[in-house]
Structure 1
Amino acid sequence: MTSTAGVAPPVDVPGLPAEPPGELPPPTGRRRGGIGYLLLLPGLLWLALFFVVPFYSLVATSLYDPAGSDFRGYEMTWAVGNYVDALQEYWRPLLRSLWYGGLATVFCLVLGYVLAYAIAFKAGRWKNLMLVLVVAPFFTSFLVRTLSWKLILADDGWVVNTLQVLQVLGDDGRLLATPVAVVAGLTYNFLPFMVLPLYASLEKIDPRLVEASSDLYAHPAVGFFKVTWPLSLPGVVSGTLLTFIPAAGDYINAELLGSPNQRMVGGVIQSLFTDANDYPAAAALSMVLMVLIVVMVLVYVRRAGTEELL
């Protein structure tokens, strides 16, 4: 016989149903976990349908027999040699794409940091207007914006004429069909992808920290590299990734502003898929580009050491 001495009897609260003694409330952790999985289900289905399935198809296509065709079909022969052939034949456009994308990223970082800094700290009441002007090009088609650069850099345009008068270009000098035009187009088209993350990081910096560096007799340049630059590194890393990845895979700028000598790997992949119908080579080249970019991104993020992104 158990003793009940020292155990307080249950207290009845007016207006609430009496709870039977000894009965525990139902567990709620599993219910909450189940609801969380249900909320994730649409996103997981979307990723599976539009990422996993196409990625599997791309990997499988890269291993097809290169001797196949649309009429005879393709057989899965695990032809790993497709990757070797793609690298041997198209390594120049591949390296050129990484080089152009890297240059455009550096120019976007320099120009975008100045612009983002001005918007965050100097714009005042014009801040919202300047942000609208940054994103305003997105209201126009990517193709139309690139074609406008073709008109600006035309041989009889005012830019070329001005540079010829200043003796920067010779009398027969031109900008179109040169690496300068391709990198300029990439820089312009992807500049907003750099400005917005930089602005988001700079906007969160407490101005009192910058004032404290000046109170400690630090030169403005020293204060910038000791305070502002380290605190804005998450925006720098995000902006460079958002700029470099699409710039390295772009082919519109090279097709419209360049020549065959400036052809990028995106144009080669597009041509192999649509014109040559060489699906194994196109898929293998796509996988090589993807792996290279992923490795470069992982190394860059690890070396940058930003805890907010890792």
Structure 2
Amino acid sequence: MEQDWKQSRGSFFTAFAPPAFWLTLFFLVPLAIIWAYSFGKNISMTEVAVTGTLSNYARIADPVYISIFVKSIVYAALTTFLCLIVGFPVALAITFAPDKAKAWLLLLIMLPFWTNLLVRTYALMAVLRTEGYVNTVLGWIGIGPLPLLHNNFAVVLGLVYVNLPFLVLPLYSALDRLDRSLLEASLDLGAGHIRTIREIVIPLALPGILSGLLITFIPALGSYLTPDLLGGPDSQMIASVIERNFKRANDWPFGSALSFILMYLTFFAIAAQTLVAARRRKAGGEA
């Protein structure tokens, strides 16, 4: 007979205390310090005085920073959309693949996580540069060389390349839980494959699709390494501005404010996804 956790609180808190302590000490406390710095100002090269000022947040209203925020959101949204276009057929193919092939396909999707992001980015640079593999192949057919690196195209391509597995895996998880009998019934009743996907698969898998979109959008919005290495002067995203304020300008208060604006946007995206999911559950319950 299983024991209720309320009847064994000692064991529960013994198991819970170490990770909670670790999370508090190495995540919540540093996060709280950065949040406090966002309401401060520099008093020397190494000291920040927390004064409660909102001037750092007011600076973000500058059109320069607003444009960078908007550009970052557009890049992240475009990346998420392209990942969905590419990732949905891939996840669908993995779902209906034979069991042996499914294991290998999932391994190929997860394989990039075993390689450092910096290594993968430099590998992509080798592919896209003027003397790279793509331009070499294009040269054989009399095209190019094309400017494939250090521009907005390279940034979006790099973000899709890096974040695609974050969308494929949640999509596969959602699609794999579908009731196959509903798909068979749809096909038996005369609906084609496209209509079955549109009217059966997508509505049933929508919670997983929304979760995958959120999981892809958030890291794409805060990407630093990919736009820094693949982009040009007009391709910087907000994470690059945050890095510059912390490391080069030594303006930790303003960098902290930018970081938390990014975090507030993340919280807003999570809240919106949660609200949509709650409304779907409520609508399903009423039906």
TM bin (shorter chain): 0.7 to 0.9
Partner of 1:156, secondary structure, is coil
Which residue does 2:95 correspond to in 1?
120
Q: Determine the structure 1 residue equivalent to 2:48.
A: 74
Alpha-carbon distance between aligned partners in 2 of 1:217 and 1:54, rounded to the nearest angstrom: 59
Partner residue of 2:285? none
Task: Report how far residue 63 of structure 1 moved.
Answer: 0.8
- % identity of equivalent residues: 36
Structure of larger gyration radius: 1
Residue 263 of structure 1 is matched in structure 2 by 236
**TM-score normalised by length of structure 2:** 0.88
Measured in 2, the distance between the counterparts of 1:223 and 1:30 equals 46
Q: Which amino acid aligns with 2:32?
A: Y
- Answering whether residue 68 of structure 2 is matched by residue 93 of structure 1, we say yes
Query: Aligned letter for 2:28?
Result: V
Asked if 1:253 is matched to 2:229, the reply is no
Q: Secondary structure at the match of 1:65?
A: strand
Matched pairs, number: 277
Residue of 268, 286, 299 corresponding to 2:259: 286
**2:220 maps to amino acid:** A
Q: Kindly indicate whether the alpha-carbon contact (under 8 Å) linking 2:79 and 2:160 is maintained by their aligned counterparts in 1.
A: yes
Amino acid across the alignment from 1:49: L
RMSD: 2.4
Are residues 1:202 and 2:175 paired? yes
What is the TM-score with the length of structure 1 in the denominator? 0.82
Quote the residue 1:20 is aligned against. Answer: none
Q: What is the alpha-carbon distance in structure 1 between the residues aligned to residue 44 and residue 281 of structure 2?
A: 49
Provide closer, same or farther for how the CA distance between residues 144 and 80 of structure 1 changes in structure 2, counting only shifts above 3 A.
same
1:1-310 alignment to 2 at 5 Å? 31-66=7-42, 68-71=43-46, 73-88=47-62, 89-160=64-135, 162=137, 173-303=146-276, 305=279, 307=281
The residue type equivalent to 1:175 in the other structure is L
Q: Shift of the alpha carbon at 1:173?
A: 3.8
| Unaligned stretches of 5+ residues in structure 1 | 1-27
Alpha-carbon displacement from aligned partner over 1:186-229 (angstroms, at most 9, x marks no partner): 11111111111111111111221100111222232222122111
Closer/same/farther in 2, CA of residues 87 and 123 from structure 1, 3 Å limit: farther
Amino acid in structure 2 at the alignment position of 1:57: I
Assess, with a 3 A threshold, how the Cα gap between structure 1 residues 174 and 45 changes in structure 2: closer, same or farther.
same
The one-letter amino acid of 2:41's match is D
In structure 2, stretches of 5+ residues that fail to align are 283-287
